[in-house]
Structure 1
Amino acid sequence: MASIKEIELRLNDIQTETDPRFIELLSDERKGVQQAVAKWRKRQAEKANLRQAFAEMTRHELKARDDGAVIIGGVDEVGRGPLAGPVVASCVVFPEGEEFLGLTDSKKLSETKREFYYEDIFARATAVGIGEATAEEIDTHNIYEASKLAMVRAVLNTNAPLDFLLVDAMSLPLEMKQESLIKGDARSVSIAAASIVAKVTRDRYMKEIAKDYPGYGFDNHAGYGTAEHLQALKTFGVTDEHRRSFAPVRKHVTTT
């Protein structure tokens, strides 16, 4: 008779309840076996929910393909709100038929999950492009236009013959068919992937510049206007990474 451990391992290879191996386990009255079966059913239910969510988030990609698009890029940006650092955008092209279960808006994921998906996206995506607009460009153009600039750069840096874009709440000045989706990072898997790539890229950048600007806590708050950051502005002044057109920063530019 197989041990409970052996049965748990066996269950990892079983995909459906119609599998004869699973049916056989149902007649095993050992408590450990029935607990293992219950855990398997729970995992299968969770996976089914993830597949359903993934199917919902691929509707826009599927519609674009039905309309004739072949290479579809999802575009998103992060970093509009911070007082320091660039706004970063990404464009991601997914291979048709690939499953990325659990992929969603980067804001809904833990840092550990974002890092996992970031690596998975780069490993499996057809193409990934990243673009940014610096703090100086944000001051020159305003944050909306700078965000658009970063997104255009991300599309161009994808280096793929894109024929359709799914863009998070933005229309880009590109001669390319595109669809703007409000809350696109929660509605399109391609945009969600772009939001993750952009978020991880920007967070890594802010952690790196924290070494150059000790005392500001960029590695803790990524440039957002936290109490720690506002106090650092009072104590140390404005850096080259700060957005001088933003009010909490601007008042320190005039007084330092």
Structure 2
Amino acid sequence: MADLVCGVDEVGRGPLAGPVVAAAVILDPRYPIDGLNDSKKLTEKRRETLFTEIHEKALALSTGRAEVEEIDTINILQASLLAMQRAVAGLSVRPDHALVDGNKLPRLPCTAEAIIGGDATVACISAASIIAKVTRDREMVVLDGKFPGYGFARHKGYPTKIHLQALQELGVTTIHRCSFGPVKRLLQTAGGTMLGNDEAARNKS
């Protein structure tokens, strides 16, 4: 039997809020998937379609995450590597080798190779990119309902003008990354005040 290779990628390093999510995918060569690419280069509709197809055809897949508290404690790079490590650990089939997007490698129970731009050039990494992004995007839509007014369903936590303005007007929530510059500066200005989702909802209303 050929060596089992998993692709690994993460999404959510840049946002000011929410977790970083990683995915690991082992594709099945018997069931090829057309149109795999870097998730950022695909439309939302296409990502959703491929997300379903990957779940149906992949030999194994898993997601891993690092929460906001972990990001603030160990920094976003280490949290991203931790999420990748958790994704690989969650696979129902143990891979022989991992292909990881980027230039850093997490500690894994198999050999691994870092590939810069791999999410656009290596099918299994592209699949992992899609699984991770759709998973995280869906979660941010849910969080938009819990923290109304910030626009999480639209910008997914990234530092857009709308998000930064909402931070100024509504304050920092418990899903914001306190170690990230704009949030950290706002907390220092506000004397460290942080809102829970109930208070954020009251402010919006």
Q: TM-score under structure 1 normalisation? A: 0.72
Separation in structure 2 between the aligned mates of residue 132 and residue 183 of structure 1, nearest angstrom: 21
Q: Aligned runs of 1:174-189 on 2, under 5 Å?
A: 174-189=108-123
Q: How does 1:87-126 map to 2 (within 5 A)?
A: 87-126=20-59
Shift of 1:216: 0.4
Give, in whole Å, the separation in 2 of the partners of 1:250 and 1:80. 16
Q: Which amino acid aligns with 2:75?
A: N
In structure 2, the partner of 1:21 is none
Aligned-residue CA RMSD (Å): 1.1
Q: Is the 8 A contact 1:130 1:157 kept in 2?
A: yes
1:232 pairs with 2:166: yes
3-state SS in 1 of match to 2:73:
helix
> 2:174 and 2:88 mapped to 1: Cα distance?
27
SS at match of 2:48: helix
Q: 2:64 aligns with which of 120, 131, 137?
A: 131
Q: Deviations over 1:189-246 (max 9, x none)?
A: 0000000000000000000010010000000100000111001111111111101000
User: What secondary structure sits across from 1:116 in the alignment?
Assistant: helix
What is the CA–CA distance in structure 2 between the aligned matches of 1:93 and 1:219, rounded to whole Å? Answer: 29
The answer to whether the 8 A contact 1:69-1:164 is kept is no
Q: Does 2:135 correspond to 1:201?
A: yes
Aligned partner of 1:40 in structure 2 is none
Which blocks of at least 5 consecutive residues in structure 1 are unaligned?
1-67
Deviation digits for residues 35-74 of structure 1 (CA, Å, limit 9, x no counterpart): xxxxxxxxxxxxxxxxxxxxxxxxxxxxxxxxx8521110
Aligned to 2:184: 250
Tell me the distance in 1 between the aligned counterparts of 2:155 and 2:130: 17
Q: Which residue of 2 aligns with 1:144?
A: 77
* Structure of higher RCO (CA pairs closer than 8 Å, 6+ residues apart): 2
Query: After superposition, what is the alpha-carbon deviation per residue over 1:47-104, rounded to whole angstroms, capped at 9, x for unaligned?
Result: xxxxxxxxxxxxxxxxxxxxx8521110000010000011100000111232211111
Give me the TM-score of the superposition, normalised by structure 2. 0.90
Q: Between the two proteins, what is the percent identity of the paired residues?
A: 50
Question: Where in structure 2 are there 5+ consecutive unaligned residues?
Answer: 191-205
Alignment size in residue pairs: 189
1:69 and 1:163 in contact (8 A); partners too: no
Matched position secondary structure for 1:254: helix
Cα distance, 1:158 vs. partner? 1.3
Larger radius of gyration: 1
Q: Which amino acid aligns with 1:96?
A: P
Which is helix-richer, 1 or 2? Answer: 1
Partner amino acid for 1:146?
A: A
